[in-house]
Chains A and B, each alone.
Chain A
Amino acid sequence: MRRHCKRALWLVVAMAATAACSAAPRPATTVDAAAPTVPDASAVGSDASVGVLATEVPGTDPTAPSLPPVPGAPAPTLEGSSPAAPAPGAPPAGPAPDGGFRSTLYSGANDTAGITDTTITICAHAALTYGAAFNTGAEDLNVYWTAVNEAGGVHGRRVEVHYENDDYKPDIAVQAATRCKDEHNPFILLGGIGFDQIPAVRTWAENNRVLYIHHTATSHGADSLQHSWTFLPTTERTGEMFGRVAAARFRDSRFGIIKRGSENWEPGVRGFKAVAQSVGIDIRLEREVPQNKGSYIQDIVDLRNAGVDTVFLWVNALEATQFITQAGSQGWKPQFLVFPFNLTSQTLGSAALDPPLVGVSMHNAYTMGDYSGPFAAYADDMRLFEEQYRRYRPSADIGGIGGDLIFLNWSSQKAMHQMLLACGPDCTRNRFVEVMHGYRAQPTSSACTVDFTRPGPGNSHRGGWALSVMETYSGPEGKVSWRNTATCVESL
């Protein structure tokens, strides 16, 4: 019995060690700028883009009190969305005097939380623990806001951003969100990358009546939520687009699927399979793997035995990189469909070109110094981005493995800036909600159109519909990077 107790004690200590290894929380970071998300090595595969928000419609005045719809687009609508629950004591929601949507979600001090005459406070929960995976620190992500603040801020207000580490775990993310609220009382709570964290924080935000704008997540269970918004396509839609790529380019292939075992990741695989199977694609083997599995030789051999020649890797960037490396060690070079990150392509080098990797993402590709071909459409943003980094953060490695993430983060900050400008000098949370509800535009050249006006349950809280399809190529200086083969498309 004593020995058994001793074993049990060891097991408890083992669990503590595991927790310590994976948790390793860091202190909160405060910066004078906003970065919606922080890159996360363990997550990059899934919710790849950091971009969160939309910005100006080209050719419009970004300081206008609200953003006009795209010409020819339907008028802003709330059709299909659940009516917003009014704040206690607030009048019910309904049409504003100008005919637009009127939000009564927030009342009293909660409506003006985090915004004063001089500052706008934003707090983000993000996986700071893994931020360094992209040679990227929080300071590297704040260049855009540094420039904005230096130029006078947003309607004279400085933007201050606080970060709380969610360690890429749902329970820690809720704690981080709680700290955000208790210690910073932000105007907006931003949710960083994390298929598993966001659903947990969405529930928390609903219970605490906090304005929450998050990264990509499943739409499951979100249709009736009032306090959460996303500017990016859902997990389901991302998986569907992978399916469309499979249908368009690899219809006659024999597919294998390697996927993360998580109910929050699974909807993406279901989306992929629904599209792929509808056109008769042969899916030979589907395999669930735990996070950080390490050795995939079993899976590789099984896929090869099953005659698979195309693999859909629904795992994060580090895991995908390891998987592809190990497949090469087995002399096996199938076609891979992965989340497109320079982290994977640059780490793999020439192996990422044999054959070229194919990916789908909510952001557009970035390769420093390449403004030709598919990059030309948003080269103005790329140049401005590089100019700002040269001036404010020359040490940031924007040409390296994290350059694409830094760029899309910058792009989303530009979008957020426009949204805050559109909210006007008298901005409140309700006003910000109203701006979002009527928004349908391409915010900036490097972002896809954001559209909160589509009918359907929950769609007034979802603005992302388009994704970009990418392929690896040999970029400047011989670095293997990604470039778009289809930019901001909803179908192929």
Chain B
Amino acid sequence: MDQVLVIGAVNGTIYALFAVSVALVYRGTRTINFAHGEVGTLSLYIAWWLVTDSGLPWIAGAIGAIAGAAAIGVVFERFIVRPLERADRATVAVATVGLLSLLLALQLQLFGASPRSLGGPISGLGVRIAGVYVSWTQVIAFGVVIVVAVAVTRVLRRTDFGLGVLAAAQDADAARLMGVPVRRVSMFVWGAGAALAAVAALLVVPSVGTFAPGYATELYLRGIVAAVIGGLASPLGAIAGGYALATLEYGTRRTFLHSTVPGLEYIVILAVVLVVLVARPTGLLATARTRGAA
């Protein structure tokens, strides 16, 4: 049981990092950015180039990666999202699929598909808990995910700018009439969401070992599942969903250790997601406020 919880926490942090960025973008734009994972992967290539190829310290690579990702988000907002201002949100979501393809092609063209390695900010095995080594990067990631979720929630709820983000997502015209700088808000959300994808990728890659084009998308899709379980419009709910998903995944696997049913844990996860969607479509931890946003 101890190991289930520790591994649930380790893998849950991975899912939660992606889930919280899903929630931020969804809360601020009412759409899902399917290119999110690949924005993270491209940012890893930037970090790899700065750290491994150019010999800069890890932190410089991380800053470059986050800045690069934010720039991608801002440019995408300016040239794709903004012209689609009046379009249905599903149209914007489909546009992000186009961005996903573009980023994949860019990575293949610029860096090839060879696997690359990028270490974490601190090397070493880390701390041993219940027989499982939790690396220092994973410990940092755990802290980062909590801080980011609390910060995002507070900013959205307690600041004028955050309320402006929510208002713009609800009704852009009304928000504009109320003096909310809708375009600036939109640019911020897409840029911040992309930056978060970079943070997630940087903190996850030392756990996975290597990365290549397309690597983060699989994890990102789990982030979406986590966000759906916890609450698509709730950053804290999305994090809880991440930990719940990972614990459920490993708990099932551990319970049926010698099962011959392939992919049993995925069957269980699918069942849980379906139950959540039917019983509580806005997610398990969605509050009245976030339900409104969803």
Residues in chain A within 8 A of chain B (CB atoms): 3-4, 7, 9-10, 13-14, 16-18, 20-22, 24, 41, 130-135, 261, 285, 288, 290, 292-295, 297-298, 301-302, 304-305, 318, 321-322, 324-326, 329-331, 343, 347, 401-402
Contact = CB atoms under 8 A, between A and B. Distances in A.
A321 B263 CA distance: 22
B3 interface: yes
Contacts of A305: 3, 131
Interface of B: 3, 7, 10-11, 14, 32, 34, 37-38, 90, 93-94, 96-97, 100-101, 104-105, 108, 112-115, 117, 125, 131-133, 135, 206-210, 212, 214-215, 217-219, 221, 224, 228, 249-250, 253-254, 257-258, 262-263, 266, 277-278, 281-282, 294
A295 B32 contact: no
Q: Which secondary structure dominates where chain A touches chain B? A: helix
The 3 closest A-B pairs by CB, nearest first: A325-B209, A17-B34, A133-B113
Contact of A347 (B100, B117, B132): B117
A7 B277 contact: yes
A439 to B, nearest CB: 35
Contacts of B94: 13, 16
Contacts of A14: 32, 34, 221, 224
A353 to B, nearest CB: 16
A318 B115 contact: yes
Contact of B207 (A17, A288, A326): A326
Contacts of B209: 321-322, 324-326, 329
Given A4-B281, A17-B34, A294-B219, A9 B210 contact: no
Contact of A20 (B7, B97, B281): B97
A409 to B, nearest CB: 17
Contacts of A288: 262-263
Contacts of A290: 263, 266
Given A14-B224, A133-B115, A41 B212 contact: yes
A41 B253 contact: no
Contacts of B113: 41, 130-133
A302 B93 contact: no
Nearest to A347: B115
A297 B253 CA distance: 12
A239 to B, nearest CB: 17
B112 A133 contact: yes
Given A21-B38, A22-B214, A298-B253, A134 B125 contact: no
Contacts of A293: 218
Contacts of B278: 4
Contact of B114 (A10, A21, A133, A330): A133
Contacts of A10: 32, 93
B133 A292 contact: no
Nearest to A134: B114
Given A10-B32, A132-B114, A135-B114, A3 B214 contact: no
A292 B217 CA distance: 10
